[in-house]
Structure 1
Amino acid sequence: MIHLILILSALAVAWLTRISWSGNEGSYQQRWQNALTKFLFPPLLLMMTAISIVCMGPQGQMVWRWEGWFSYGLAGTFLGFVGISGLKLAFAGWRSQQQVRTYPLQTLYGRPIRLLNTPLVFSAQVGFWQPELVVSQGLLETLDADHLQAVLTHEDGHFHYRDTFWFFWLGWMRQFSYGLTNTEALWQELLLLREIRADQWAAQRVDFLLLAESLLTVVSTPLMHSESVCAAFSCTAPKNRLEERIEALLADIHLPNPTHLYLSIWCLLACLPLFLIPFHR
């Protein structure tokens, strides 16, 4: 019965981890660290648990004869769902990238851009590790040179942090863990903190008031690509998220410090089920 206990234990830990999220409390660094951990750890734990059960196989000393095959089939089905979710998201991202490459390539203030012929006010990095900067004709006609530079510098911040690449993988986690509590709330928190981080990166290079003014002008435009492969300055945002981005710019907050060690510890904990494989009989 050890496999069922392992599955139920992983579900319980994942659920408890998610409900312990305290929302937008603490500094921006604490919020980033807390949200990223609470978002990433539960689905990673479930995935590692399923992998360990599949590696162990249906054989072993079970209380009930059917229990080995039941837990094995349950884990295999979940991993199949995980794989399909990743393939669907990757295909959607690939299609977005192919669509972007049909737009004419131009140079704007020394940056290669893809010009989108639409009156909508839009700018975004679209892609994976090497995203392409997409700028709409409407943005060029709406903003003057200084405000346009501020928007483009914000998009440079997304490129600097490789947000499209990392959020593709986080988006995959979101896809197959949507049934867990607080998944969408944590996702929206991470998107907000991602934008604040890019805002602060840009504010170190351009006037933050220009950036705030551009934000007020541009932010109401609907998102045109998947959030998992698109880091857009001009994405639709609830009023409270827009206000928080403006307040963060005016407050001149510090960028979150790297949290690689903290996150690595949690990822190692999520991999604990794999260490049970050698002890299985």
Structure 2
Amino acid sequence: MSHLILILSALAVAWFTRISWSRNEDSYPQRWQNALSKFLFGPLLLIMTAISIVCMGPQGEMVWRWEGWFSYGVAGAFLGYVGVSGLKLAFAGWRSWQQVRTYPQHTVHDRRIRLLNTPLVFSAQVGFWQPELVVSQGLLETLDADHLQAVLTHEDGHFYYRDTFWFFWLGWMRQFSYGLSNTEALWQELLLLREIRADQWAAQRVDFLLLAESLLTVVSTPLMHSESVCAAFSCTAPKNRLQERIEALLTEIHLPNQTYLYLLIWFLGSCLPLLLIPFHR
């Protein structure tokens, strides 16, 4: 197959997959799997296509004589851009994590926190696999003990699901695939569903009304760290999504154990270009 046709086909499939996504009223687990698979498939397909072309090299049977080196250069340049995007995002996240580690440590409700000296009402997990829990002085002064416990339990949910680690990689995908359709819409959908998941995890351990009241109190807080390495109680979803989070808390939602077969099928589909490598001549 012509390398240029392979590139254009991958772009077309990635674009069509993104266009076909629309926000629906399925259950939250179904919405999560649908949004995550559509978000990942396009970037992964482009990466696998570029890797396959680089592995096959510029030589072979091409439609045009210049096509081999041209497609090889395009694929190599794309992979370079992907790598640089990841390094830049990792460096920005590392700087945020280093900044957080300069904040003084305290113990609040049996949790080690980093205290941020600001009147803003703010709490978040910041970092990668082992994030730091950051709590502002304004939050401690605004909420009573019960509401503060609810907020901290929500942040425990982010830690349990390792949201900062996984969303760093999703943020990397977002970074280099911004030109694909629905990238920002899918990103906001995933952020919202991440918050609902942490809300539900916390609601199994504290009174869900306390959690809802806390959300109403702190929702106006501006974002203070990169979304890719920060899982904050109030900042990562657009303000018009507040009602949906409140309704999800007031509605009994059963979150079953996640099955990854659906995601695995999409992932294997994105790897299909690699199967062409042994057949290249």
TM-score by length of 1: 0.98
Residues 194-203 or 7-16, more deviating: 7-16
Note the C-alpha offset of 1:137. Answer: 0.3
Specify the alignment match of 1:227 in structure 2: 227
The one-letter amino acid of 2:180's match is L
Mapping for residues 28-177 of structure 1, pairs under 5 Å: 28-177=28-177
Specify the alignment match of 2:204 in structure 1: 204
Q: In 2, are the aligned partners of 1:197 and 1:256 still within 8 Å (CA)? A: no
Note the C-alpha offset of 1:237. Answer: 4.0
Change beyond 3 A, Cα 1:43–1:236:
closer
Change beyond 3 A, Cα 1:70–1:236:
closer
Change beyond 3 A, Cα 1:168–1:236:
closer
Specify the alignment match of 2:249 in structure 1: 249
4+ aligned runs moved over 4 Å, structure 1: none
Mapping for residues 3-42 of structure 1, pairs under 5 Å: 3-42=3-42
Are 1:259 and 2:230 counterparts? no
Q: Deviations over 1:66-88 (max 9, x none)?
A: 00001001111111110111000
Note the C-alpha offset of 1:107. Answer: 1.0
In 2, Cα distance between equivalents of 1:62 and 1:276: 15
Q: In 2, are the aligned partners of 1:220 and 1:236 still within 8 Å (CA)? A: no
Instruction: Give the secondary-structure state (helix, strand or coil) at the position aligned to 1:211.
Output: helix
Q: In 1, are the aligned partners of 2:219 and 2:239 still within 8 Å (CA)? A: no
Residues 263-272 or 158-167, more deviating: 263-272
In 1, Cα distance between equivalents of 2:55 and 2:99: 40
Instruction: Give the secondary-structure state (helix, strand or coil) at the position aligned to 1:30.
Output: helix
Q: Deviations over 1:241-277 (max 9, x none)?
A: 1000000000121225413221111111101111111
Q: Which runs of 5+ in 1 are unaligned?
A: none
In 2, Cα distance between equivalents of 1:42 and 1:164: 22
In 1, Cα distance between equivalents of 2:37 and 2:257: 15
Q: In 2, are the aligned partners of 1:201 and 1:255 still within 8 Å (CA)? A: no
In 2, Cα distance between equivalents of 1:91 and 1:126: 14
Q: Deviations over 1:69-123 (max 9, x none)?
A: 0100111111111011100000000000000000001111111100000000000
Instruction: Give the secondary-structure state (helix, strand or coil) at the position aligned to 1:134.
Output: strand
The one-letter amino acid of 1:215's match is L
TM-score by length of 2: 0.98
In 1, Cα distance between equivalents of 2:33 and 2:17: 14
In 1, Cα distance between equivalents of 2:43 and 2:13: 11
Q: Which runs of 5+ in 2 are unaligned?
A: none
Q: In 2, are the aligned partners of 1:219 and 1:236 still within 8 Å (CA)? A: no
Note the C-alpha offset of 1:59. Answer: 0.6
Q: Deviations over 1:189-225 (max 9, x none)?
A: 0000000000000000000000000000011100100
Q: In 2, are the aligned partners of 1:195 and 1:233 still within 8 Å (CA)? A: yes
Instruction: Give the secondary-structure state (helix, strand or coil) at the position aligned to 2:253.
Output: coil
The one-letter amino acid of 1:255's match is L
In 2, Cα distance between equivalents of 1:194 and 1:237: 9
The one-letter amino acid of 2:195's match is E
In 1, Cα distance between equivalents of 2:185 and 2:257: 23
Q: In 2, are the aligned partners of 1:33 and 1:259 still within 8 Å (CA)? A: no
Q: Deviations over 1:155-174 (max 9, x none)?
A: 00000000000000000000
Instruction: Give the secondary-structure state (helix, strand or coil) at the position aligned to 2:264.
Output: helix
Instruction: Give the secondary-structure state (helix, strand or coil) at the position aligned to 2:224.
Output: coil
In 2, Cα distance between equivalents of 1:151 and 1:223: 16
Instruction: Give the secondary-structure state (helix, strand or coil) at the position aligned to 1:7.
Output: helix
When the two chains are superposed, the root-mean-square deviation of aligned CA atoms in Å is 1.0
Note the C-alpha offset of 1:24. Answer: 3.1
The one-letter amino acid of 2:97's match is Q
In 1, Cα distance between equivalents of 2:38 and 2:123: 30
Instruction: Give the secondary-structure state (helix, strand or coil) at the position aligned to 1:225.
Output: coil
Q: How many residues are aligned here?
A: 281
